Structure 1
Amino acid sequence: MNMEIGLFFAMVIGGGWSMARLAQYGRLPGILGMLVFGLLLSGIAKPSIPDLAWDLEPFIKSLALIIILLRAGLAIRRRVLARVGRTSLLLAIIPCTLEAMVLTPLLHWVFGLDWFIAALAAWMLAAVSPAVIVPTMLALQAEGRGQKNHLPTLIMSSASVDDVVAITLFSTLLVLAVGSDTSAEIASGLVSSLQGLAWVPVSVLGGILLGAVVGWVLALWLKKQYRHIRATDKTLLIVVTCLAMVALGDAMGLASLLAVMTIGFVVLERAEPIAQEVALKLAKFWIPAEILLFVYIGMQVDLTIAWQTGLLGLAVLAAGLLARTVGVYIATAFDPHLSWFERSFCAAAFVPKATVQAALGAIPLSAGLAGGSVILSLAVLAILVTAPLGLVLIRRLGAALD
């Protein structure tokens, strides 16, 4: 029998909070405790979890990501972004491209995946997790860590574009991989993939433009209503606007989550007092949102699936991470201000994978693609291994930053 939805959310928030505190007591990241609680909850009570809980999952994840990226945008100043802009763009493109290039042949040779299927799996696995990266960067920023060369801003801005590139290429390759049996279908799929590749810069620039326009309008109106609307109301208005904008951006094929970050950036530039009020409120909203997000991600992890690829899966993922690390060092080589330690920190910051893999890992299997179970297994394994590893590395190296 299914449990009541109220009891379910009470268990999720209460249990996730408790496990986070337990993890912190053991000098581990609180997010790790939330993931573990989600895994345990799914393993013990999965049959009794109400269907409504799963129906609400996409909305809850989207809302949590909006809060994350708004907070990131509200912490990025124009002069800082101008300073790290070139390096940020290189970090967004080079590491994920190298990782996907290494993973594609390995997935083909080791697991026997078709080349197109191997490529779409590689891009899915190459995406980093803003849900893990952004909060940790905001925490370091609040502590005054990495401010000498603006590392938190550099990493937050590049991580969001990294995801846009990876998700767009995964989606276009999925079109090619599904139902392309005849030569005409393959040719059509190739055209679709090339169009999808060409759409990446359009999606990114369109998302930034959409966010800039919406952010400018919001800042202008909120400045006029500054004394008549409470900070909580301002925050709710911005979040609701972002929810609507994400739906619009997705329908238009634009990078909607990047647009959300841009709104925060524009509001900070145009109405800094309002931005500071909203940032403080969002930090409070993030407390339950973080628990819900990571417990849900943990609930999607199936250990029996993760073990299917075993040591071979770990070796393939490790090779991809090694390629990503090389990519980070290449991307940061053109910035003379960064030390070797700071470049190493950037490499560590791009290790965590969770959100994209949880959202996309099961799609190839549900689409009936050959090797879909292997792809899902690798996605789950990536979450289990890289999220905790990345969090620990960020904490250890971040503590030594200036």
Structure 2
Amino acid sequence: MLFSLALILLLGMLLGSIFSKLKLPPLLGMLITGIVLGPYVLNLISPSLLNISADIRKIALIIILTRAGLNLDIKDLKKVGRPAFFMCFLPAVCEIIATIFIAPKIFKISLIEAGILGSVLAAVSPAVIVPTMLKIMSKGYGIKKSIPQLILAGASVDDVFVIVIFSAFLELGKGGNIILTDLFKIPTSIFTGIFGGVIVGLLLVKFFNYLHIRDSAKVIIILSISFILVTIEQHINSAFGFSGLLAIMAIGGTIKKYKNNLAQRLALKYSKLWVGAEICLFVLVGATVNIHYLKNAGFLGIILILLVLLFRIIGVGISLIKTNLNWKERIFTMIAYTPKATVQAAIGGIPLALGLSCGNLVLTIAVLSIVFTAPIGAFAIEHLYKKLLAK
């Protein structure tokens, strides 16, 4: 395992650096590193590391979402309230509906199978979006109109919504029925996640005021609490959901509101942690990509992804109606809301593991969406934000 980890960090960093010098997103180099080192090409990553790959990716996601929360001003979120609310679900709904209509015509599958496929495709990737938005915020682009904050907020809730919808379609695919109480998990997950995060954040602020400890120790405490919150989310099986990732962002936002100087110092600590976490995240996402499946969907798969992305973009456009964003800023927001990666890697193989007839196709399209949209979306964001957003 240690040798595999060394390969992941060294080669991931090397290829990321090479791609960065070529004016390409470093994550593209990291994804390629994962694909090459992964079990479907050179098979140089040990099975023991692959077995805990999902947990390592989750830790990396926790680090970047905490960093996002520590940089997120609640006043900015209030400014983008209504469009942020619609961005949480409307683009995903548009993409799922488009997949249900288009996929059966292309791949000759049922409407329920198309629903499963659409709900896998519809999630946007916080792993791609959050670090790029933080970079844009740090350079002062789009912050006057809170555009990066709008995208951050929407992307964080989008995943909660999509995963619940995926679970509902999966039940139908297995021959069961959609339980209406499951859909109730969407608003309860969002509310309890934010509320729980705010409460924990307030307690941490009081604790840090009372007990003076080093910032490194504070990072360890916050990380440990974040791990507990994500574990709680995984073990809740009631009608009331709970979003651990939203709670983690809320903790950061609460510390930012009540102890801004501390939030800035902690954000610097988390940015250092992110250097290694980013490499692990994208290399291990790349390792899940089975390039042999790509031959099965090929051209038709890309056509489907492009068509449903158009509907996602339309959904973003509708969400931005009656905002003060100009056409350039709207175009940037639409582009920034297209990358896929982490959720597709996490749930793309579930239908196949359950033995559903559409499983192979779903996994293939999920892999294709990662390979196609993550690097292109990151590249577009990187090269367009200075042209489309005001500094």
**TM-score, reference length from structure 2:** 0.96
CA contact (8 A) 2:71 2:264 kept: no
Name the SS for the 2:144 alignment partner.
Answer: coil
List aligned pairs for 1:100-115, cutoff 5 A: 100-115=96-111
Q: Which residue does the alignment assign to 1:218?
A: 204
Tell me by how many angstroms 1:64 deviates: 0.5
Q: Which residue does the alignment assign to 2:195?
A: 209
2:368 and 2:41 map into 1 onto residues whose CA distance is: 20
**Gap regions ≥5 residues in structure 2:** none
Give, as a single letter, the amino acid of the residue that structure 1 aligns with 2:86: L
Alignment counterpart, residue 247 of structure 2, candidates 231, 252, 259: 259
CA contact (8 A) 1:8 1:49 kept: yes
Name the SS for the 2:269 alignment partner.
Answer: helix
Alignment counterpart, residue 117 of structure 1, candidates 108, 113, 116: 113
Tell me by how many angstroms 1:317 deviates: 0.7
Tell me by how many angstroms 1:174 deviates: 1.1
1:340 and 1:363 map into 2 onto residues whose CA distance is: 39
CA contact (8 A) 2:35 2:288 kept: yes
1:338 and 1:100 map into 2 onto residues whose CA distance is: 26
2:296 and 2:41 map into 1 onto residues whose CA distance is: 21
RMSD: 1.2
1:346 and 1:153 map into 2 onto residues whose CA distance is: 11
Tell me by how many angstroms 1:283 deviates: 0.2
Q: Which residue does the alignment assign to 2:166?
A: 170
Q: Which residue does the alignment assign to 2:221?
A: 237
Give, as a single letter, the amino acid of the residue that structure 2 aligns with 1:294: F
Corresponding position: 1:358 with 2:345: yes
**Gap regions ≥5 residues in structure 1:** 181-185
Corresponding position: 1:328 with 2:316: yes
Q: Percent identity?
A: 37
Alignment counterpart, residue 159 of structure 1, candidates 140, 155, 158: 155
Q: Which one is further off, 389-398 or 345-354?
A: 389-398
CA contact (8 A) 1:113 1:370 kept: no
Give, as a single letter, the amino acid of the residue that structure 1 aligns with 2:375: P
Tell me by how many angstroms 1:148 deviates: 2.1
Give, as a single letter, the amino acid of the residue that structure 1 aligns with 2:346: A
> How many residues are matched?
384
Tell me by how many angstroms 1:137 deviates: 0.3
2:192 and 2:172 map into 1 onto residues whose CA distance is: 24
Tell me by how many angstroms 1:333 deviates: 1.2
Give, as a single letter, the amino acid of the residue that structure 2 aligns with 1:144: G
Alignment counterpart, residue 274 of structure 2, candidates 271, 283, 286: 286
1:36 and 1:145 map into 2 onto residues whose CA distance is: 30
Tell me by how many angstroms 1:281 deviates: 0.2
**TM-score, reference length from structure 1:** 0.93
List aligned pairs for 1:1-400, cutoff 5 A: 5-42=1-38, 43-46=40-43, 48-178=44-174, 180=175, 186=176, 189-190=177-178, 192=179, 194-225=180-211, 228-252=212-236, 253-335=241-323, 337-400=324-387
CA contact (8 A) 1:307 1:381 kept: no
